[in-house]
């Protein structure tokens, strides 16, 4: 159920950093359109700018030149309050190191963003159970992170990222600490959410075995981005 609606668009964006008086151009001229219901993987060697680009998409960072438009609105022109609101309501984040709070149970970890957003008790409980159910961990909700395997912890992190029904999930090497079976399961969950909920996913990965699970593979190289034709062709075969 793909639609042509663009969720987020990067237009001729650059990002450079000044280090010890020297300017390093990480992104030079990046154009990227993410549509609703699309699963895009981001590849490129270490240091090619994947995390830098994801930070631009999440509004945590702004381009040195060019624009990032979220639902046609320039993120650089949003005030901090609007950006925070957008992150809480429309975006979900998944990181390589899971980022769960160790003293909270799986349930409490998933529930936390709803508490922060001031969602009432009953609704919090309903949404948290639903998210844990989607990732197949309804039976582990009282367990703390250290009682769960790496793959299970990452599924909790995904439940937390989707608990508020975001429209876009940004994932930075979400399977970096997982074995191949768990990695496939995590990408399978992304695929399921794209298909069933029409969410969009942008996931950076080093694992070429996972790419064919996505709709589109974008490669960062020398500060530019382009669709990787090799994979595109393979998917269409």
Ligand X SMILES: Nc1ncnc2c1ncn2[C@@H]1O[C@H](COP(=O)(O)OP(=O)(O)OP(=O)(O)O)[C@@H](O)[C@H]1O
Binding site for ligand X (CB under 6 A): 17, 19, 26, 44, 46-52
Mark the segment that binds Mg ion (CB under 5 A) among 46-54, 84-92, 147-155, 178-186: 46-54
CB of 49 to Mg ion, least distance (A): 8
Instruction: Pull the structure tokens for residue 230.
Output: 């090799």
In the complex, least distance from residue 10 CB atom to Mg ion, rounded to whole angstroms: 17
Q: Decide whether 132 or 211 has the Cβ nearer to ligand X.
A: 211
Closer by beta carbon to ligand X, 52 or else 182:
52
Indicate whether 51 belongs to the interface with Mg ion (CB under 5 A): yes
| Binding segment toward Mg ion, per CB under 5 A, in 50-58, 73-81, 152-160, 183-191 | 50-58
Distance CA 132, CA 137 (A): 5
- Least CB distance to ligand X at residue 195 (A): 27
Measured from the CB atom, is 50 or 140 closer to ligand X?
50
**Applying CB under 5 A, does 96 fall inside the site for Mg ion?**
no
Q: Smaller CB distance to ligand X: residue 5 or 17?
A: 17
Closest separation in Å from C-beta 172 to Mg ion:
6
Q: How far is CA 200 from CA 40, 180, 215, in A?
A: 8, 23, 10
- Shortest Å, Cβ 63 to ligand X: 13
For residues 94 and 189, what is the distance between their CA atoms, to the nearest angstrom?
A: 12
Contacts to Mg ion by CB under 5 A: 50-51
């Amino acid at each position: 159920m793909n639609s042509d609606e663009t969720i987020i668009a990067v237009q001729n964006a650059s990002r450079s950093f000044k280090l010890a008086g020297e300017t390093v151009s990480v992104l030079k001229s990046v154009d990227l359109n993410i549509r609703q219901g699309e699963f895009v993987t981001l590849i490129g060697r270490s240091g090619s700018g994947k995390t830098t680009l994801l930070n631009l998409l999440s509004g945590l960072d702004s381009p040195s030149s060019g624009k990032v438009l979220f639902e046609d609105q320039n993120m650089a022109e949003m005030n901090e309050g609007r950006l925070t609101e957008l992150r809480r309501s429309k975006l979900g984040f998944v990181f390589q190191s899971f980022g769960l709070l160790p003293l909270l149970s799986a349930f409490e970890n998933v529930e936390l963003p709803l508490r922060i957003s001031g969602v009432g008790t009953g609704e919090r409980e309903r949404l948290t159970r639903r998210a844990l159910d989607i990732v197949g961990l309804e039976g582990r909700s009282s367990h703390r992170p250290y009682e769960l395997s790496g793959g299970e912890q990452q599924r909790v992190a995904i439940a937390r990222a989707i608990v508020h029904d975001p429209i876009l999930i940004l994932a930075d090497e979400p399977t970096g600490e997982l074995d191949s079976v768990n990695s496939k399961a995590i990408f399978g969950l992304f695929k399921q959410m794209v298909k069933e909920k029409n969410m969009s996913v942008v996931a950076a990965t080093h694992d070429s075995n996972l790419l064919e699970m996505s709709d589109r593979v974008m490669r960062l190289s020398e500060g530019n981005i382009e669709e990787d034709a090799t994979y595109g062709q393979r998917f269409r075969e």
